[in-house]
Chain A
Amino acid sequence: MIVQEPVQAAIWHCLNHYDYTDAVFLSERLYAEVKSDESLFLLATAYFRNGQKDHAYHILKDRTDASAQCRYLFGICAYELEKYAEAEDVLLENQSGSNSMDNIVEEFGDQAAFALVLLGKIAAKTERKARAIDAWKRALKLNPFLWSSFESLCKIGDKPNPQNIFQINNMENLSMCHGNSINNIESVVITTNAISQDNQETFNTPPPSQQILTNFNPNMNAKQLCTPEDSPLAAPLCMSGIRPIQGTRKVMRVKPETGSNSPQPTFGQFFDSPSDYGSPTFSQPMLPGSNSHHQSLAKRMRAQVDLFINRKESIFQNCKPVFSQSTNVPATKTPTIPLAIQPCQNVRRSSRLFSNNYSVKENNKSPNRNKFATPKSPSRKTKQRISKCNLNKNSSYTELNTRNKMEKEKSETVTSSETEKSAIPPSATAESCIEQAIQMQRQSAEGLMCLLRDIGEAYLDLSQFNCVTAIERLNSLPPNQFNTSWVYCLLGLAYFEQADYETCVKYFSEVHDKEPYRLEFMDVYSTALWHLQKEVVLSALAQDLVNLNKNSPITWCVSGNCFSLHKEHDTAIKFFQRAVQVDPHFPYAYTLLGHEYITTEELDKAMSCFRNAVRLDPRHYNAWFGIGTIYSKQERYRLAEMNYAKALSINSRSSVILCHIGVVQHALKETEKALATFNTAINNNPKSPLCKFHRGSVYFALGRHAEALKELEELKEIVPKESLVYYLIGKVHKKLGNTDLALMHFSWATDLDPKGASSQIKEACDPAFGRSNPDIETPASPSPEEYPSESNSEPRAAPINYNGLPDDSEDSF
């Protein structure tokens, strides 16, 4: 044992400071020395964080007797390496035969929530939707901080109820979220030896990893860890060995900034009350941040700091035994308890305090990070602010709370109250301090939960495509949260789904200006720009992203969109293929690639792309829409209609999909249905020009000219520059016999579109002169837009041209 501890502590130290090479080296040596579970776990963690997932996978592979944390890490490695069956097996290893997840909680303790999240992800990848939903729901019940599970539930089509999910019901729950926070408390500053005695007594169960105060080499790290000029923050920080450099000063500076910028956050800032160190003067009950005035906060801070400076000597001495948890410094009074885990915890804990890093594990998927951090990593701004808040925390309780990292600590059954009690010097205010601490903890968590509930509602609405409600909810978030990139991106996405591309682009451009290095959702932004045909902005965006990160599929999607807009489809295809190569699990890349293939008429390749997209994400309605488009190009209208209907079932409010369905129905000669569909589309989205246009053309095809005319006239108001509108009006007039009006509209149409890209205008001349009506002769669908089929590359004739094209419209290949 003696061999392990300092080395382990050193390894964790390296890991916490991102020096993975050394960590790997040291853990290899340690493992060679002591082949225990713990050292194996450490070795695997070092490999994993160093990016050597396969190495970690292989060393953990065949250990049947591995501890829960090893199994969990193995599960993660296997998942990353796409070995889903093995991952699942190892997580469910000790389940009695059945596939149930009921025993996970006992098995994994603190890690149970994460194990469940992983099980859910595995089930999702292996297309077991119900099981995935079940797993994620359980995970959320255990640990409501896991926003990503909520997101996954929404994405997979389930409708979780944020009000129920994001609740902190009892302290037990909270402790589960924090991992061994309760445990962590002991490592916190313990001012007198007597306290440590208390620690001993007040534990219900003897947790293996509780006492830091083991005898070992007290001075070795202490010197390194603490410096005399420690700021109040320093004291606890010493534990991690982090020099709490200029902590105080930082604190001071920071306070006014954070305070003045925004109203107090509802969570994350309230642990300013310095009710630690047992000083009676500090046991001012402190309300959650939202209620506190930042000035008083600053005052308290200053007072606190002063006090700490005065007491730092004593603290220092007292802390010394505590500090070297990494080295298991013993308190003279307490017996040594071999701490396999504790040193690591402690080191990590304090580093967490300052770095506000979200995970000790790099691939920590759960956003259950620092409780003070916002759940989904939104903007750096908020993060910084919160980390600054963290710096302000002087109390030991803040450390308690900041150590809420879910790790592999063995779960404790000690309730927080007990442990907190233990950490307090035996002063009169000890108990009340603890209660305050608990109170504050709860309030902080509650603040976060409140936010999560709101965001959860908005996100749920968005994933069900209730865009309007989603936008409302997002707009009603508190301003400091609202001004984060993530929320803006969600708003942009909501507008995008409504096909309101202008507003969408507005939000996204703000996001991009604020944070040019943010990559998520930029693919949506690029598609919106593509729709709006804003070439310059899109090119600039593509350039920025390519310079930023060539390894993300989003970059290549954006570049592909850019080239597609420039009509260089081959290059666009090349880039989308690159996006697929970079990340084969990104469905949107496949969808975009499919659309490009459609444009280059490679329909079979397009079909396979869309199918891939759908396989990856069955709710990706763009892909279903693409499949429908392919079928409609192949004139298999029934199949097209089915696929469009599938897309519609996912996103029921999209008027574009409804339009397409209407057109297909019309092609199938089910005009009544088509009209009904168009009516629905227009009801959903009264200003949508596309629906009006198609409804007008259907009326025209049906011979209901008056209605057609009315429709098209309205459309003319909405979109005055669209040549096709005038062309259609011209045709209606022609049908009605108003030749002069018809000619007028045709000439307007040609004016607006001189290139005649809509080659339909060529026919304008013939009907204008009462020649045989091409309508009647058109073999296929009656829709007026059929004309182009007959004249592929006609030289464009002016509307009035007797000589031109006598035979054209009648000819067909």
Chain B
Amino acid sequence: MSLKRASNVDPIKNERAGNVREVGSQAIWSLSSCKPGFGVDQLRDDRADTYWQSDGQLPHLVNIQFQRKTTISDIYIYTDYKLDESYTPSRISIRVGTHFNDIQEIEVITLSEPSGWVHVPIKDIRDKPIRVFMIQIAVTSNHQNGRDTHMRQIKIHSPIETPNIPMDNFLNFTTVELQQHATIR
């Protein structure tokens, strides 16, 4: 089952546009609990018909740890109330930091019968993407007060930066005429 694109939320489109990159593959994922066969792999397999099912006490946690400090601009979560009903999370808290004992909550989102991708933009007080070692996505409550939760897919986006180097300006031309000469492949 392909991942449904909500009307205005489509992480893939942004990836294709070349502004951002999905950096989940550079991180180590762990869960607070899961049912066998419904774990991290199902959370990261690009399929909407497989999901993570937790198997413990609220809050259920998804821990994402990077090897280096990574700039994060967006988090996308795919959930579906129609399929999961009481397993659908209703309140999600995003915490970031350096390690387990040093994380702070930066975002709380409330969902109401979501169906598809939920976009959580990550910004600090200065409205810039944050640079962190670790993200923790915590499900604090579910619809209909369910105990366990289903989450079908999570994507993490990092902006493609043009650092302080003249070289990268080569890649930013808008016209094909200039862009084709920008580099040698």
Contact = CB atoms under 8 A, between A and B. Distances in A.
Interface in B91-132: 126-129, 131
B8 interface: no
B173 A531 contact: no
Nearest to A795: B127
A690 B167 contact: no
Instruction: Give the interface size class of chain A.
Output: 35 or more
Contacts of A568: 15-16
A615 B16 CA distance: 34
Given A792-B71, A813-B131, A530 B177 contact: no
A785 B169 contact: yes
B136 interface: no
Contacts of B73: 793
A813 B17 CA distance: 25
A639 to B, nearest CB: 13
Contacts of B165: 632-633, 635, 667, 780-781
Nearest to A499: B181
A636 to B, nearest CB: 11
B174 A532 contact: no
Give the interface centre of B15, B177, B179, B184 by most chain A CB atoms within 10 Å.
B184
Interface in B164-185: 164-170, 172-185
Contact of A531 (B161, B162, B175, B185): B185
B19 interface: yes
A259 interface: no
A781 B177 contact: no
A566 B177 contact: no
B16 A723 contact: no
Contacts of A690: 170, 178, 181-182
A667 B166 contact: yes
Interface string A95-120: 00000000000000000000000000
A759 B127 contact: no
B71 to A, nearest CB: 7
A689 B178 contact: yes
Contacts of B173: 722, 724, 758
A567 interface: yes
Contact of B21 (A600, A622, A693, A789): A600
B178 A786 contact: no
A693 B178 contact: yes
A487 to B, nearest CB: 24
B7 interface: no
Given A567-B18, A792-B71, A757 B172 contact: yes
Contacts of A811: 126, 128
B177 A757 contact: no
A792 B178 contact: no
Contacts of A570: 25
Contacts of A647: 184
Contacts of A621: 184
A807 interface: yes
Nearest to B12: A568
A408 interface: no
Contact of A719 (B15, B167, B178): B178
Interface string B3-44: 000000000000111110100010000000000000000000
Interface string A763-779: 00000000000000001
Nearest to A623: B184
A752 B174 contact: yes
Contacts of B177: 689, 718-719, 721-722
Given A757-B174, A783-B166, A793-B73, A625 B161 contact: no
Given A722-B175, A780-B164, A785-B169, A656 B183 contact: yes
A800 to B, nearest CB: 20
Contact of B184 (A656, A722, A781): A656
Please give me the 5 A-B residue pairs with the lowest Cβ-Cβ distance, nearest first: A785-B169, A788-B162, A531-B180, A789-B164, A690-B181
Given A532-B180, A568-B16, A722-B175, 19 more contacts: A499-B180, A531-B185, A567-B16, A667-B165, A690-B170, A719-B175, A719-B177, A722-B177, A724-B173, A724-B178, A757-B17, A757-B174, A758-B174, A760-B172, A781-B164, A785-B169, A788-B168, A792-B71, A813-B128
9 contacts: A635-B165, A656-B181, A688-B181, A757-B172, A780-B165, A788-B162, A792-B71, A794-B128, A807-B126
